[in-house]
């Protein structure tokens, strides 16, 4: 029985592939994108989130903690992550629901059971399940178990990937996947390293190879003002994709609805001053990419 760490199962999702879908978010990602809206996805293990606006400063968490990880300072509990053994006792004890564990160990069978609850919606809408993250391919065996389970139940599957994974894994998993959602952010390697923390060489090579063995890939281009919306980057993306077999190119406008999560995780969000792109900008990006004979779709 394969187990993995999941941090969210979102039902009735309509932005992660065709029809009505259930999106299963797997924990762990090697990229560190400045615009990431799921910062809780990066670490592969469980982690604690603290809702400061809910906390009433009662100190119950500090008293119960078996490893002395929580100190009350100026009425606020401060957790030393190094000491925390993630036992969850402070969460159970907190009367204000101010503490929450991100990530749950689940078996593939447990996740499939959850997915199955909406079979009727998938059938009616042409939907299915999307495995996202994090990087779902990072939990390879677990993902394989999930994909096998879905195939047995005839549930359509999509895998949302950064492409930053070994070709061996991608190639092995590929025949089990109905649709790939493949992220492409920046063509210039130095800028890619700066804004995501990793080189784009593997990502570009994998996309080339994947497009020669899989016939249903939607490439997803998140438009982030001032970072990747310049003409050169858009043109290079168009040129690169026009030489590959790609079913769709989805343009995704940047948004910052995940900013709050950074605060709760004690992390810094670097793009506070960047606003979502205008409709005019998105139309302009779309028009440039359409010139490369790509099936371009603007997504909300
Ligand atoms: S999860 Fe356990 S060890 Fe960690 S802070 Fe809470 S009570 Fe302490
Ligand atoms: S138990 Fe909850 S409400 Fe009380 S101090 Fe700890 S986090 Fe705040």
For ligand 2, atom 6, the nearest C-alpha belongs to 61
**Residue 275 main-chain phi, psi, to 5 deg:** -100, 155
Indicate left, alpha or beta for 142 from its phi (over 0: left) and psi (-120 to 50: alpha). Answer: alpha
- Residue of 67, 92, 103 with the most ligand 1 atoms within 8 Å of its CB, for mutation: 67
Number of the ligand 1 atom closest to the C-alpha atom of 101? 1
Which part of the chain has CATH 3.30.70.20? 49-100
For ligand 2, atom 2, the nearest C-alpha belongs to 94
Is residue 296 within 8 Å of 286, Cβ to Cβ? yes
Number of the ligand 1 atom closest to the C-alpha atom of 86? 1
Identify any residues that bridge with 249 across adjacent strands, giving them in sequence order.
Answer: 219, 296
Q: Domain 49-100 carries which CATH code?
A: 3.30.70.20
Q: pLDDT tens for the chain, 300 residues: list them.
A: 799 999 999 999 998 999 999 999 999 999 999 999 889 899 898 988 899 889 999 999 999 999 999 999 999 999 998 999 999 999 999 999 999 999 999 999 999 999 999 999 999 999 999 999 999 999 999 999 999 999 999 999 999 999 999 999 999 999 999 999 999 999 999 999 999 999 999 999 999 999 999 999 999 999 999 999 999 999 999 999 999 999 999 999 998 888 888 887 878 899 988 899 999 999 999 999 999 999 999 986
Nearest to 186 by CA among 255, 135, 240: 240
Give 61 Cα–ligand 1 centroid separation in angstroms.
8
Query: Is the minimum distance from the CB of 98 to ligand 1 under 6 angstroms?
Result: no
Number of the ligand 1 atom closest to the C-alpha atom of 99? 6
pLDDT at 300: 65
Query: Is the minimum distance from the CB of 65 to ligand 1 under 6 angstroms?
Result: yes
Give 101 Cα–ligand 1 centroid separation in angstroms.
10
pLDDT at 273: 86
Vertex 26: Cα angle to 20 and 31 (nearest 5)? 115
Which part of the chain has CATH 3.20.20.70? 3-44+104-298
Give 48 Cα–ligand 2 centroid separation in angstroms.
13
Q: Which CATH superfamily is domain 3-44+104-298 in?
A: Aldolase class I (3.20.20.70)
Give 59 Cα–ligand 1 centroid separation in angstroms.
13
- Residue of 90, 94, 100, 101 with the most ligand 2 atoms within 8 Å of its CB, for mutation: 94
Give 46 Cα–ligand 2 centroid separation in angstroms.
20
pLDDT at 93: 97
Query: Is the minimum distance from the CB of 79 to ligand 1 under 6 angstroms?
Result: yes
Query: Is the minimum distance from the CB of 49 to ligand 1 under 6 angstroms?
Result: no
Give 99 Cα–ligand 1 centroid separation in angstroms.
10
Pocket of ligand 2 from Cβ distances under 6 Å? 55-61, 77, 93-94, 96, 98-99
Query: Is the minimum distance from the CB of 259 to ligand 1 under 6 angstroms?
Result: no
Q: Per the structure block, which two tokens stand in for 290?
A: 């359409």
For ligand 2, atom 8, the nearest C-alpha belongs to 55
Ligand nearest to the Cα of 95, by number = 2
């Amino acid at each position: 029985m394969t187990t993995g760490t999941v941090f969210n199962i979102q039902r009735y999702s309509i932005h992660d592939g065709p029809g009505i879908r259930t999106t299963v978010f797997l924990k762990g990602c090697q990229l560190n994108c400045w615009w990431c809206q799921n910062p809780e996805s990066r670490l592969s293990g469980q982690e604690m989130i603290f809702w400061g606006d809910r906390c009433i400063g009662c100190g119950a968490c500090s008293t119960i903690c078996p490893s002395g990880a929580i100190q009350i300072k100026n009425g606020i509990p401060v957790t030393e992550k190094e000491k925390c053994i993630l036992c969850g006792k402070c969460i159970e004890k907190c009367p204000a629901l101010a503490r929450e564990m991100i990530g749950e160990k689940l078996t593939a069978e447990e996740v499939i059971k959850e997915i199955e609850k909406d079979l009727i919606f998938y059938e009616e809408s042409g939907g299915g399940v999307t495995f996202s993250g994090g990087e779902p391919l990072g939990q390879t065996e677990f993902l394989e178990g999930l994909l096998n389970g879905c195939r047995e139940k005839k549930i359509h599957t999509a895998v949302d990937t950064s492409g930053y994974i070994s070709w061996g894994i991608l190639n092995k998993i590929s025949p089990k996947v109905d649709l790939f959602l493949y992220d492409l952010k920046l063509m210039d390697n130095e800028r890619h390293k700066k804004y995501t923390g990793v080189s784009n060489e593997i990502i570009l090579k994998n996309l080339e190879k994947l497009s020669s063995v899989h016939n249903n890939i939607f490439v997803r281009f998140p438009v982030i003002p001032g970072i990747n919306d310049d003409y050169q980057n858009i043109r290079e993306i168009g040129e690169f994709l026009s030489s590959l077999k790609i079913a769709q190119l989805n343009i995704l406008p940047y948004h910052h609805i995940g900013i709050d999560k950074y605060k709760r995780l004690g992390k810094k969000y670097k793009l506070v001053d960047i606003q979502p792109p205008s409709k005019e900008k998105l139309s302009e990006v779309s028009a440039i990419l359409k010139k490369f004979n790509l099936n371009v779709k603007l997504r909300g």
